[in-house]
Amino acid sequence: METHDNPEAASIGRDAKDLAGDVVDKAKGLATEQVSERRERSAEEINKVASALRRASHDVGDAAAPYLEKAAGMFDRLATSVKDKSLRDVVDATERFARREPMVFLGGAFAIGLVVSRFFKSSERRQ
């Protein structure tokens, strides 16, 4: 029996389709909300890295300080981008920066490694 011959079956089909659409819309809404929350948290963490780089720039010699300051500025801009742009846009911008300023990018990555290792060491001491 085809649904166009049976109005009740057609109605059930429309109801099921509407329900499925509602479920998809709610799932999209939840996913968007979670992505937004994670982007905010990620931006906050990136800002913390920028602050740590600035503090580290005061502790190191004069030769390394400008590079750390420049890397901190890069992370500030990255945090803003994470809040305002899509993940693909952020990745593209990071790749462009790494190509344009490879030494600053590598220096920043090295400094982040140092900051993260110091963080883990200090966390171990507290436990």
Give the count of domains, the chain.
1
pLDDT at 123: 63
Q: Are 98 and 105 in contact (CB under 8 A)?
A: yes
The pLDDT value recorded for residue 124 is: 66
16-31 mean pLDDT: 73
pTM for the structure as a whole: 0.51
The string over 44-80, giving b where at least 16 C-beta atoms fall within 10 Å of a residue's C-beta and e elsewhere, is: eebbebbebbbebbeeeeeeeeebbbbbbebbbebbe
Q: Is the confidence at residue 1, as pLDDT, over 60?
A: no
pLDDT at 127: 58
pLDDT digits (tens, 9 = 90+) for 37-67: 777 888 888 888 888 888 888 887 777 788 8
Provide the domain limits for residue 40.
Answer: 3-126
Sequence-separated (6 or more) residues with CB below 8 Å from residue 38: none
pLDDT tops 60 at residue 2: no
